[in-house]
Structure 1
Amino acid sequence: MKKQLLLSLLIGIGYFVCAQPRPVLLDPAKAKDTTYNSIFDETEFIPLETSRQSVFGVVQQLVVTNQYFIILDTDTDAVLFFTKTGKFIAKYKNKHKRYRIQFIQPDTCANTLLIFSQNRNYNIKAATLYAFLTKKPVKTIPLVTATRLYFENPANLRAENLPAPAFLLTNPVAFDHDKLALSFAWSDADNSGTEDYALKIMQEDRLIQKYFPYNTRSDTVFSGRTAFQCSFFPAATGSVLFLSRPFQPFIYRLTPDTLTEAYEIAVPKTTRAPLPGGGFSTVSFGQMSIEGITVTTARAGARGSQPFSGNSNMVTNFVDGQRFLFLNIQRGFNYNYYIFDKKEKQLYDRSKLKADSSSYQFALQGPVLAFDEKNIYQSLSARRLFGLKKGAEKLNLRYHQSLNRFYTTGKPGNNPVILRLKPKTDS
């Protein structure tokens, strides 16, 4: 009987090990240079219409649907709707005067947009948020508001107020239709508990999964005044999320039932964990990766807010395309931009892609703001594009047709320009 039990355990352990393949290693030190045409099939610059009603500053978040570009602009505290050709359609202004919009995310099941706002005059301390999260569930709190925006007819937007539970302050990310991924880790000697989990999966008000245990009183990695959280990255299917953890060199793949290490970043041996007690004194839900099948975000925090995790996550802005991965990797105090070719098993430096006669001529730095089944999307200000042109006057470059058209008809004071890039596929 004991031998049978031992054999069963060994079989079970062997199955578990075999079912967990080693993560793919990504080594920034071995990144190579290549050309735009080896990565992208198409490039298109899409100017967003500039008018008195549509003018705004920076694309803080971008949601891409089949018909629209939906843009969050925190300068004007508004959500703007443009067609996929850049024509302005409508603007939603926040109705809550004491609150400022912090992030948006699509509800793909209901074909609506969820809008979350935070009180303008209140910064949440880590201890306060910890108290909110460890108490019994609270239906609403006065620090945040939640709105569902119906945009089936953007010319006649319809808004619905929703309950605003405390966990909205942790950057919840929806996936698999009715589940939410939450992340918060903070250790302090005065905390009431002794164990918590940095990653939790909720279904309605029920906690159904939890990962990454830590000691809420003595875990020095998460101690001090700073709250830490995972960064979430939606995948092409709504039932999958990728994520990174503070101070860990892994990119994890999360499904409703499993959590596995998908990719590992090669880290120099001199890398050290941060000293306990450092960081910001307040936290905010400014850093957000929005949910959904077709979108992601790279916003590092709204103006004037303190992001949860600062620079503690080694990997940010991760996009898993059909053939290519796009990601940012922290090296020292900077984030570098990389592309990983899953077919060729090769890492490229995205900021050093070599230009050719039919491609975008300037370095592709900056975050990937959104993606769909075929494209990734970035944004550049009109002023920056004209500045890049001026700086390259002596090079006699041949610009892409859509960029050349913008230079002919646009002005430096115009709205930002959306850059659509179609990566190559396996075929």
Structure 2
Amino acid sequence: MFLVRFGIFILTILSIGLLETFAQTNKTLRINPDDATGGTLSQYFDSVQFIPLETNKTSLFGDIHKLLITNDGGFLLSDDDTQAYCSFDSAGQFLARIDQSTYPKKTNWLLSAALAYDGDRDAMVISNPNDKEFLYLDRKGNILGHSILNGLVASMDRMPNNISFIFHFPQGNSDSVVDNVKVYKDSILSAHYLLCKIKDIDIGGSSISRKNEFYHSDNYTIFSTGKKDLSFHLFSKNGLEKSYRLLLPEAYSYPLGFDSLSSSQKAAAVNGKMKLIGSVRNIFLNDDWLFFELMSGSGYFFDGRHLMYNLKDGRLICIDHIASDSMSSFMPFHSEFGTITAVKGDYIYCYVPAFVLFEAKKEDANHLWEKNRTLKLFFETSDRKSNPVIIKMKLKQNL
């Protein structure tokens, strides 16, 4: 009898431990965009730096779809518009461009390729699904090596100590559901162990596309499912650390079971609801601060969608409503171009297209832009079609 009771006691303790583990790895964040506060630049940042990306015949590109920061503060970017990858140093000077003309004998693989940065080798890593390989290049575009790729890569990211996260499509079917997440120890070699099955992080039937990017923040990688439940997952080199889900007020949320409704039922359910949020993206972690962008389910841009949330105390700040002050009297934050696109150490990065800066200059009746030497030179030597300007901001410590 004692052994039975003791066994029940042990099982109870184990079950409590499992429940605690589940609670620790799955967290709901209650977010109300209407409660987000604003402020000024100097309240949240210690410095703001404008870095124009060099524009010439070779370096000119369309838009930044993914921005990666190198060990020395340089920039790697992918541009879907021109199907190119570009490399710039920390001052914005052009280093290299990889596009179809770089390797004319190869098939047009850039449409379905993915970009990552290998900090251990200070190298670009580009997946080439058509030729079934990973391509390693230095930041000047010189090929360092190849490795075999089994299947199609939807997205990938690099972690320190030669760890790569790879989301795989089954070979030859880029529209099917991803079946696993693989971890490569030293990506130049073949994969040798599996991190976790997709079902273990509850991605379920959500298909993975190039829009489901990894978001890398130093020692962490965040992956968003792109689902209407607004869930995303935090990985470290040890695997899945925590899964999050944003819970928004009713005015912003799709009804439960929305995806299973008929077309007419869906139309009725969303009729007149302009605030519905369909996904969360551009998710980055800097200490206790989580940066993210709420995407409208109807496809329109709305003011107040770029937010920063403190995981410890629940403070919610709207980046779109951070105003210029003495730190930077000319700061064109607004709802269309307030997206945080990278985080590295104490710094967060966004970018502003050249034409937006020229519009802001036109509206600047007090000529505040003249107080910034970098911007003054940019306006003197650039035009509306020039490459974007990177904005590098140092987040305040103990904010």
TM-score clears 0.5: yes
Q: CA deviation at 1:242?
A: 2.5
Instruction: Determine the C-alpha separation between the residues in 1 that align with 2:202 and 2:56.
Output: 53
Which of residues 95, 103, 125 in structure 1 aligns to 2:103?
95
Instruction: Determine the C-alpha separation between the residues in 2 that align with 1:241 and 1:59.
Output: 19
Residue in 1 aligned with 2:188?
none
- SS at 1:407 equivalent: helix
Instruction: Determine the C-alpha separation between the residues in 1 that align with 2:287 and 2:200.
Output: 33
Paired letter, 1:180: F
Q: CA deviation at 1:366?
A: 4.2
State yes or no: 1:163 paired with 2:148: yes
Deviations 1:166-210 (A, max 9, x none): 142x3244446345342679xxxxx9xxxx986534451543422
Which of residues 246, 264, 271 in structure 2 aligns to 1:265?
246
- 1:63–1:370 contact (8 Å) kept in structure 2: yes
Instruction: Determine the C-alpha separation between the residues in 2 that align with 1:18 and 1:215.
Output: 18
Which of residues 367, 383, 387 in structure 1 aligns to 2:339?
367
With the length of structure 2 as denominator, give the TM-score of the two structures.
0.74
- 2:230–2:280 contact (8 Å) kept in structure 1: yes
- SS at 1:29 equivalent: helix
- Cα 1:260–1:104 change in 2 (3 A) is closer
* More moved, 396-405 vs 59-68: 396-405
Structure 2: which 5+ runs fail to align? 171-175, 185-190, 264-275
Residue in 1 aligned with 2:228?
247
* More moved, 257-266 vs 10-19: 257-266
Residue in 1 aligned with 2:310?
341
Residue in 2 aligned with 1:182?
167
- SS at 1:242 equivalent: strand
- 1:200–1:209 contact (8 Å) kept in structure 2: yes
Which of residues 7, 18, 40 in structure 2 aligns to 1:16?
18
Instruction: Determine the C-alpha separation between the residues in 2 that align with 1:39 and 1:108.
Output: 28
- 2:132–2:148 contact (8 Å) kept in structure 1: no
Deviations 1:201-247 (A, max 9, x none): 4451543422436999xx8x65xxx667965322321xx33233323
- SS at 2:39 equivalent: coil
Structure 1: which 5+ runs fail to align? 119-141, 186-190, 280-310
- Cα 1:38–1:313 change in 2 (3 A) is same
- Cα 1:235–1:25 change in 2 (3 A) is same
Residue in 1 aligned with 2:40?
35
- 2:214–2:221 contact (8 Å) kept in structure 1: yes
Q: CA deviation at 1:338?
A: 0.5
Residue in 2 aligned with 1:63?
68
Instruction: Determine the C-alpha separation between the residues in 2 that align with 1:14 and 1:80.
Output: 51
Residue in 2 aligned with 1:146?
134
Q: CA deviation at 1:95?
A: 0.8
Q: CA deviation at 1:332?
A: 3.8
Q: Which has the higher contact order (CA 8 A, sep 6+)?
A: 1
- SS at 1:99 equivalent: coil
Q: CA deviation at 1:116?
A: 2.3
Instruction: Determine the C-alpha separation between the residues in 1 that align with 2:238 and 2:143.
Output: 36
Paired letter, 1:393: D
Whichever structure has more strand as a proportion of its residues is: 2
- Cα 1:183–1:353 change in 2 (3 A) is farther
- Cα 1:256–1:4 change in 2 (3 A) is farther
- SS at 1:212 equivalent: helix
Q: CA deviation at 1:38?
A: 1.4
Residue in 2 aligned with 1:108?
119
State yes or no: 1:210 paired with 2:194: no
Instruction: Determine the C-alpha separation between the residues in 1 that align with 2:245 and 2:202.
Output: 25
- 2:217–2:342 contact (8 Å) kept in structure 1: no
Paired letter, 2:230: P
Residue in 2 aligned with 1:235?
217
Instruction: Determine the C-alpha separation between the residues in 1 that align with 2:115 and 2:201.
Output: 30
With the length of structure 1 as denominator, give the TM-score of the two structures.
0.70
- SS at 1:33 equivalent: strand
Aligned ranges 1:243-392 → 2 under 5 Å = 243-245=223-225, 246-255=227-236, 259=240, 261=242, 263-269=244-250, 271-272=254-255, 273-275=257-259, 314-333=279-298, 334=300, 336-342=305-311, 344-359=313-328, 360-364=330-334, 365-390=337-362, 392=363
